[in-house]
Structure 1
């Protein structure tokens, strides 16, 4: 651990960049509790818990399940719970869904394919909030959710379905790979996942995190 600390100090000297201790964590394997505490004090970093998260999204090597996406559901629930006591109008609730609640899941949708159960759970919360101003209404909405999610010119409210948005954003990632967009992520996918094979013929090995 002393060598790691020296390497970090050397990095600061050479690059002029200073790692943020408040935003950094250290992870241990088969290390006793006293040693973990001592090492954390040496590095001035808190001990982290797996899975590692980036912008709230868990970084795991396997296909994500509902448990991995619980954080997304909880964030949406907290927002709805905070707003539920404000007695908002229908148009106010709709605007919050369009501007805030939908934006919460955008990064998740752009990262991996969401489990169907998670999509249904999230949209159930949005539906209850839209029609009743609460997070878990026991009765059905006045209009089917599928119709609500149509474009305004088609008689809907312009809400995008999570499943459609998720598929569209993942297809965009596939397009970047096929067109060999100049990015480190595309190069990594070609070298590590596709191994320079065609995107269209590579065999998917379930439960890979990227499929």
Structure 2
């Protein structure tokens, strides 16, 4: 009755009414008589777990691969709904960043996703990026590990799904650590913590799988809380992006990032140059190793072995083209500097 009075008060205040046809009652820890009385009094039909809310499954136990199948289906539908194979590498990269990764981020912000689902998501994104297909067809030109680095470190700026999911769960850890004014935090304090210190708390073996995972994630951010990187004050709160930056292994910035990624460059040209910087192009020496070509001699000059360095820097015709472009632009292009950028 308390819940019905609350709904009634809300309706009078907002002018919005609950749709009983679209609502269900769910029970846990109540006797059979109460299960029968509540639907009769409220007019609600008893529902069963799991159910779907805002497109995601709601259940009391850990998510399974089957539970996450709608996420995979949505990704596949987005890919098949566009002329993916007609897009350039750069076009498919934009689609992965703006559409496919957004779907994953939506789920990752609410659930601890199974490792099998995250591997499947990465596989779909990898195959789509390099060939416009869902299934594995060809070997990627550059590894997924390198792709998931920031551009300043030589990557394409995509997020590592495993680390992003941990950073998203880290938001729950932050809510508990800062005693945030959320109903869920109050329930955690009443059910699990019971006045114990959150920083030193360890879950019992009979705790739920999700709660144990949250506690494991807390250990990942122990140093951050010790250093007080995030504080409750406005502008210093925890965000998923900050958490991701903390747990990600940072690497040295590459010297050529501004030469490739800038507002004057055509995106598909920038992407191909980026592949070249990672020695990912299918030059004749690489094709010979996998048995596609019988020889590895440069087809332009016909003198030396065609590899990444020769094709762009050592070939006499490449040098001539670079110098002619410099004359056309009215620029003196130092050839040695280009070789240094390549290294």
Instruction: State TM-score, norm by structure 2.
Output: 0.50
Q: Which moved more, 1:141-150 or 1:104-113?
A: 104-113
Please list every run of 5 or more consecutive structure 1 residues that lacks an aligned counterpart in the other structure.
Answer: 30-38
Q: Which residue of 2 aligns with 1:79?
A: 78
Please list every run of 5 or more consecutive structure 2 residues that lacks an aligned counterpart in the other structure.
Answer: 28-38, 214-343
8 Å contact kept, 1:61–1:208 = no
8 Å contact kept, 2:146–2:155 = yes
Summarize the Cα distance change of 1:125–1:184 in structure 2 as closer, same or farther, 3 Å threshold: same
Which gives a bigger RCO, structure 1 or 2 (Cα 8 Å, sep 6+)? 1
Q: Which residue of 2 aligns with 1:53?
A: 52
Summarize the Cα distance change of 1:114–1:99 in structure 2 as closer, same or farther, 3 Å threshold: same
Summarize the Cα distance change of 1:124–1:8 in structure 2 as closer, same or farther, 3 Å threshold: same
Alignment of 1:143-154 (within 5 A): 143-154=142-153
Is structure 2 residue 104 aligned with structure 1 residue 105? yes
Q: Which residue of 2 aligns with 1:209?
A: 210
Q: Which moved more, 1:186-195 or 1:199-208?
A: 199-208
Once the two structures are TM-superposed, the CA of residue 27 in structure 1 deviates from its matched residue by: 6.2
Once the two structures are TM-superposed, the CA of residue 202 in structure 1 deviates from its matched residue by: 3.2
What is the root-mean-square deviation in Å for CA atoms of aligned residues?
3.0
Summarize the Cα distance change of 1:49–1:131 in structure 2 as closer, same or farther, 3 Å threshold: farther
Q: Which residue of 2 aligns with 1:131?
A: 130
Once the two structures are TM-superposed, the CA of residue 71 in structure 1 deviates from its matched residue by: 1.4
Is the radius of gyration larger for structure 1 or structure 2? 2
Once the two structures are TM-superposed, the CA of residue 107 in structure 1 deviates from its matched residue by: 2.2
1:105-126, CA deviations, whole angstroms, 9 ceiling, x for partnerless residues? 1121112221110000011000
Instruction: State TM-score, norm by structure 1.
Output: 0.77
Q: Which moved more, 1:91-100 or 1:175-184?
A: 175-184
Is structure 2 residue 88 aligned with structure 1 residue 89? yes
